[in-house]
Amino acid sequence: MSANTAANASTPGKPRTEDIRVSAVTRLVSPREVKDRLSASPGVLRQVAQQRETCRSILRGEDPRLLVIVGPCSIHDPVSALDYARRLAALSKEVEDRLFIVMRVYFEKPRTTVGWKGLINDPALNDTGDLARGIEVARRLLLDVAALGLPAATEFLDPIIPQYIADLISWSAIGARTTESQTHREMSSGLSMPVGFKNGTDGSVQTAVDAMRSSRSGHSFLGIDQEGMTSIIKTAGNPDGHLVLRGGRDGVNYHPAHTADAAAKLKAAGVPSAIMVDCSHANSGKDPTRQPEVWASILDQRASGRSDIVGAMLESHIEGGAQALEGDPTKLRYGVSITDACLDWESTAALLRG
């Protein structure tokens, strides 16, 4: 009997009270098997470890450079993503004395209602939900990005996914919709890289501050091990959490008064006063042409002595704007986001060089 059939079988005369609304259960290969098939070399793993330490040094104020997380809102096409990565890797060498650039390689997309959930969940872009393929496509792309010497950043949404790809991630995010989630705070307490917590969708900075405090502590929770077995996970706590300001329903929160208020909240809570500003999302009104305004404010505040503003985030792709995922995915325009609208590559490069 297959796993799918077994999940939905019932015993004659015995009422069925579980899995009533589950249409299928398909077993995934274990993280160990995926990593054996798509393995990272010792050199790549040393590179990731060093890139994580650079991020930590910037967050601690020991490295004066600006930590910049830049790249597509989401990855939907590995070919254009790698094209973008090659451009970004070359540019990062030009500006490495001032900026430490990490590429956004976001594979999971939280949805307010429904919609495409990201490359891992739906790599074919047709709602077939082939997660097994999605995990392998994601890991292969991360290996390709690492081969360019470029550090990768992602948002972790499903708490199982880190077991498959976290060894290749230098910086991670917990999004505005999940910062308040106990599950994601517990997961963050065990992640091996720095974690940026976004303020809530309502603009609440306190939500992210509470998440930072929680993730700094050890937790015990259910998860899977490298063999894919359900396990009790015990964590030691993650001291490398920090705040990401992304605006909220009431508007922006990147102006000096906003960042000063956020710094005061961080200090009062006894957590690191390291702030990253997201130039997109509510801070730009989801208008990519306004991201340079936010970027300019970040640089002005740092020039005025605000050393607690240590990072910035930009949503950028090869071509500007966005396109809808409708009908045949092969008809999508190359290098154009299918989620949030992005800044085009030429404007991004000019911004970073400037």
Per-residue pLDDT, 10: 58
The predicted model scores a pTM of 0.94
Whether 47 and 61 have beta carbons less than 8 Å apart is answered as no
| pLDDT tens per residue, range 261-296 | 999 999 999 999 999 999 999 999 999 999 999 999
Per-residue pLDDT, 8: 52
* Average pLDDT for the chain: 95
The identity of residue 189, as a single letter, is S
Per-residue pLDDT, 115: 83
| pLDDT tens per residue, range 112-129 | 667 899 999 999 999 999
CA distance 322 to 303: 33
Residue 3 lies in a domain: no
User: Which position has the token pair 């796993």?
Assistant: 3
Per-residue pLDDT, 9: 57
Residue 30 lies in a domain: no
The continuous run of DSSP H or E covering 80 comes out as helix 78-94
Residue 94 lies in a domain: yes
Residue 102 lies in a domain: yes
CA distance 34 to 316: 30
**Residues of the chain falling short of pLDDT 50:** 1-3, 5-7
Is residue 243 helix, strand or coil?
strand
CA angle (224 as vertex; 223, 227 as ends), nearest 5:
170
Per-residue pLDDT, 5: 45
Query: What CATH number has the domain bearing residue 283?
Result: 3.20.20.70
Per-residue pLDDT, 123: 97
The identity of residue 107, as a single letter, is F
Residue 20 lies in a domain: no
Residue 6 lies in a domain: no
Nearest one of 129, 154, 158 to 223, comparing CA atoms: 158
Residue 330 lies in a domain: yes
Residue 21 lies in a domain: no
Per-residue pLDDT, 260: 98
Structural domain span for residue 333: 40-353
How many domains is the chain partitioned into structurally? 1
| pLDDT tens per residue, range 1-12 | 344 544 455 567
CB under 8 Å to 138, separation ≥6 — which residues?
75, 107, 119, 120, 164, 165
Per-residue pLDDT, 2: 41
Number of H helices, E strands in the chain: 11, 10
